[in-house]
Structure 1
Amino acid sequence: MPASAVHGSQNLARPWLSPVEWLLLLVAVIWGGSYSAAKLATAQLPVLQFLLLRFGLTFVLLLPALRGLAIPSWKAALAGATLLGINLLAIFVCETFGVSLSTASNAAFLISLCVAFTPLCEWWLLKIRPSRSTLAAAALSLAGAGLLAFQHGGTAGLTWGDGLIVLAALLRGTMVCLTRRHGQRHGLPALTMTAVQMAVMTLGSAALMCVVPGATWAPLPHTASFWSAMAFLVLLCTLFAFFVQNHAASRTSPSRVALLMGSEPLWGALIAVLWLGDHITPQGWLGGLLIVASAWAVTRPNSKA
């Protein structure tokens, strides 16, 4: 475990958040806005074409970073980064289709179930048993998601879009652990790993467009709202955010990465309400606050998560 598990004076001297973890918190704010941006963009362009354009543009910007593959173990590192790219493509296919079929605010809250899933994935993949406080926080997050799922009418439950978001959350938990394990084994630079992932996701999106029935290439929109949303998603939500996540994944525990991102649903909901006019019931806000509280409980000073 990282320094967060150290007892005594070392633990007392540790700041609430390290510089890397502050960057992760900034990513949470940025990603909170991604749901509204994706909702706007996919209303004007089919999902798979949207993903192909988003990740293709990002890969072009990251081409110089491929020089980082000039290491002795480049074959193993490339294989590991490719595996991560495939997992990331699955996350975004589920997440983007889910956002297009649900509300931006519901998607922002439900994706945070990765807070509940990550400690279990960490236990399974990295053989690191979560602390009791981490498991309690994960349970609190799960309870909050349950309140969100039934905030409208009490019996409607999850839609197909919501279900896809939950699956994306499970894949996110797996992604955090796989990224940490890959970074420990091969030491590939964060930007290089991100570039390889973007290449895999671009090729994967193109392949899906060729095999999914009914997928066609639509004319690109000419609206300012679409291209503003695309610039936000490419430059901040993808290029900057994935660099930070890859950089941080090998420098703090997977559970802390996921739990620090626990404020993402709150930012996502606030932006969706202010930007898209989403309506969230008091029960939904209570569920969201439970999720955010679970993140605070584990990242507070003297936490052993």
Structure 2
Amino acid sequence: MQAPTSASAVPPKKIWIADLLLLLVAVVWGSSYGVAKQALAFYPVLGFLALRFGMTFLLLLPSLRQLAQPQGRAALRAGLPLGAILLAILTCETFGVALTKASNAAFLISLCVVFTPLAEWLLMARRPAGSAFLMAFVSLFGTWLLTYGSSLTFNLGDGLMLAAALLRAVMVCMTKRLTQNRSMSTLTLTAVQSGVVGLGCLLITGLFMQGGLPSLPHAAGFWMATLYLVLFCTIFAFFAQNYAVRQSDPTRVSLLMGSEPVFGALFAAFWLGEQLSVLAWVGGALIVAASLWASLPRSIFIARLAK
């Protein structure tokens, strides 16, 4: 049995590429809330998720030719359970957001930053450094400041968002566990995950929506929003996340992804015209600081400070 790899065993260039990709994912996912809101004004939530991931699967269909090779079969074995976890995350988030306040949802989903070091410890028998736990709580406190003023009266929606946060932590760790030390196609892995989510959403829709889905809208705004979410927030984001997790540690990945609320707040402020308080900006700065801690070479940085 091979020993688990860590970020330190990966060439520094690949680590920096992974970090940059994760920050770009945080940017596009931060913008996705406003874009998705536009699309959901035209179509039901679960139906839209089925459309979004169904289109993703179709666009990535050529990558399934890899299934005839060992790399493709390895991606299939990992992609099926990871797709099921992703489906559970999206289902919890979708119904959770519908049943609670947006600020509550943003705060609770950020708990994945705190859960990930614990999940890494339990699922991978690898205890992260104590400073990783500290930065996780710094990021969490920053998110609380970012959403300051919301009333966290716990209800079913809050419970579903909490479950989604826990599943996000499990997802990052299981991606690492199922892909490390294995040669596989990251693009095929992303395609398999998308197919599982798209099919799963259709099945859930069939169970919960009497009369089935309405016909697709013809509005240009709907299709522009859909294409943005498919190309950037799904194909690019999940490909980048799968690649980065294979190169890095789950806790490091989670801290970098924890900057997502900052970019969401910036998008809301500059694109949607929402006002942010001083405390919100302070909270955003703390989240960015925690993300920088995860990505910057601290040993070099500390050595320079000591001079």
Question: What's the TM-score bracket when you normalise by the shorter of the two chains?
Answer: 0.7 to 0.9
Greater Cα offset, 28-37 or 156-165? 156-165
- The match for 2:304 is none
The aligned amino acid for 2:35 is A
CA RMSD in angstroms, aligned pairs only:
2.9
- The match for 1:276 is 272
Match of 1:204, SS?
helix
1:201 to 197, 217, 229: 197
Cα separation, partners in 2 of 1:125 and 1:257, compared to 1, 3 Å: same
Give the superposition deviation at 1:247.
Answer: 1.3
Give the superposition deviation at 1:131.
Answer: 0.3
- The match for 1:143 is 141
State whether structure 2 residue 247 is matched by structure 1 residue 243. no
Contact 1:119 1:135 in 2 (8 A): yes
The aligned amino acid for 2:39 is A
The aligned amino acid for 2:164 is A
Give the superposition deviation at 1:216.
Answer: 3.2
Cα separation, partners in 2 of 1:3 and 1:174, compared to 1, 3 Å: closer
1:228 to 207, 211, 224: 224
Match of 2:271, SS?
helix
TM-score by length of 1: 0.85
State whether structure 2 residue 174 is matched by structure 1 residue 170. no
The aligned amino acid for 2:265 is A
Task: Give the total of aligned pairs.
Answer: 296
- The match for 1:121 is 119
Where does the alignment leave 5 or more consecutive residues of structure 1 unmatched?
none
- The match for 1:2 is 6
Task: Give the distance between the partners of 2:115 and 2:125, measured in 1 at CA.
Answer: 15
Match of 1:20, SS?
helix
Where does the alignment leave 5 or more consecutive residues of structure 2 unmatched?
301-307
Cα separation, partners in 2 of 1:139 and 1:84, compared to 1, 3 Å: same
C-alpha distance after superposition, 1:6-36 (max 9, x if no partner): 9xxx9xxx57961222122111111111111
Alignment of 1:1-305 (within 5 A): 2-4=6-8, 18-72=16-70, 77-100=75-98, 107-108=105-106, 110-148=108-146, 150-152=148-150, 155-157=151-153, 161-184=157-180, 186-212=182-208, 214=210, 216-302=212-298
TM-score by length of 2: 0.84
Contact 2:29 2:260 in 1 (8 A): yes
Give the superposition deviation at 1:219.
Answer: 2.6
Cα separation, partners in 2 of 1:106 and 1:271, compared to 1, 3 Å: farther
Task: Give the distance between the partners of 2:257 and 2:281, measured in 1 at CA.
Answer: 17
Contact 2:104 2:152 in 1 (8 A): no
